[in-house]
Amino acid sequence: MSDDTTAPSTTPADTPADGPHVLAVVPAHVGGRAAGSGFAALLPAPARVTVVESVDEDPEALRTARVLITALSPVTAGHLAAAPELELVQCSSHGFDYVDVAAARERGVSVCTIGSSDAEKQNVAEQTFALMLALAKQLVPAHTALADADWALPRLKPSLTELSGKRLGIVGLGQIGQEVAVRGRAFSMDVVYAGRRRAEPEAEERSGARQMDLDELLRTSDYVSLHAPLTEATRNLLSAERLALLKPTAFVVNTARGALIDQEALADALESGALAGAGLDVFDPEPPPASLRLLRAPHVVLSPHVGGVTRETVVRIALAAAQNVAGFLAGKPAGDVVN
């Protein structure tokens, strides 16, 4: 890679100039050019790979790209219109909400995820329970108090609780939701779920979760964990009205997409005491602006979208995306097409 870290990086100069051009977009806040260069090495010759930190960074690379790989970087209708050679957009995630799928469909461009690889499910499920346990055991205020030489036990004792015996309401029983359900049962929780449709019998049997209407799930759950994809139908799924259905002793955990929750309404609920707390790994937008009220709301545990970026998960994601792109360039049908 060039010493000039502001310049796009490419594969070696001896790569055939007529090989298919791949544009890899890795924003700085998820690893940038260093991470993208490592990914580029996974693609076989004769692919030519250009690594950038935003789609707009190299207009010529976009114009000639046959494949665009994006790591949570938005791909708009304008980007698609500026890429006449484009045939495939590969999302390095289970989600695809940051790509204009309708515009891609109109252009005849396939949009793929890594959904069938299950690359992220283990760590997202673990992060979900890390947030749940931190909320139940008040780990953040306990740590902060002790670091300030404050023995906070008398103050924290009334709010400490157990997971055992509590109801865990999962919104979206896909692969990740199922992993969360299995862990919930291991903690002796009562696990229920809601979704657009009933899950397959095998998923219900494996997870041990019972289907429930969403509003009833919200009314009766002690922990509500979001694992739904972000679509126009699910944007602000937890609106002010739905948040008002939750018990004042309930906790909300979101490791899916920030826009599934009305963030202002959630801040209102936390500040007023209408909710016991929230654990958030995702925000809208990302990184969140310093003005986001949730960053200073009471009874929150926050993490910077780490649910899919352990050492193990990053390797699985990169391999899954690279394998799909390599297969496509070799003439095989693309996998996990969402449009």
Output the CATH code of domain 121-302.
Answer: 3.40.50.720
* Dist CA 151 CA 160 (whole Å): 15
Of the residues 227, 242, 257, 316, which is catalytic?
257
DSSP states of 82-103: T-TT--EEEESSS--TTB-HHH
Q: How far is CA 213 from CA 25, 222, 234, 242, 305, in A?
A: 39, 15, 15, 12, 28
Peptide bond into 298 cis (omega under 30): no
The pLDDT of residue 3 is 38
The pLDDT of residue 10 is 52
Q: Which residues of the chain have pLDDT under 70?
A: 1-17
The pLDDT of residue 311 is 86
* Dist CA 246 CA 217 (whole Å): 9
Cα dihedral 117/122/128/132 (nearest 10): 160
The pLDDT of residue 55 is 95
The pLDDT of residue 17 is 59
Concerning whether 48 is annotated as a catalytic residue, the answer is no
Tell which residue, 54, 51, 50, has the closest CA to residue 35.
Answer: 51
Tell which residue, 270, 190, 201, has the closest CA to residue 238.
Answer: 270
| Per-domain boundaries in the chain | 9-118+311-329, 121-302
The pLDDT of residue 5 is 43
Q: How far is CA 220 from CA 64, 126, 169, 245, in A?
A: 53, 23, 8, 9
Of the residues 21, 66, 305, 316, which is catalytic?
305
Same topology between domain 9-118+311-329 and domain 121-302: yes
* Dist CA 72 CA 286 (whole Å): 10
Q: Which CATH superfamily is domain 9-118+311-329 in?
A: NAD(P)-binding Rossmann-like Domain (3.40.50.720)
Concerning whether 299 is annotated as a catalytic residue, the answer is no
**Radius of gyration of the chain from its Cα atoms, rounded to whole angstroms:** 22
Tens digits of residue pLDDT in 194-219: 999 999 999 999 999 999 999 999 99
- The separation between CA 274 and the C-alpha centre of its own chain, rounded to angstroms, equals 26
In the three-class reduction of DSSP (H, G, I as helix; E, B as strand; rest coil), residue 190 is classed as strand
The answer to whether 291 touches 263, Cβ cutoff 8 Å, is no
Cα dihedral 296/300/301/307 (nearest 10): -100
* Dist CA 182 CA 40 (whole Å): 36
Encoding tokens for residue 118?
A: 């299950």
**Helices 311-329/121-137 angle, 10° precision:** 150
Residue 32's region, left for phi above 0, alpha for psi from -120 to 50, else beta, is: left
Of the residues 57, 87, 271, 286, which is catalytic?
286
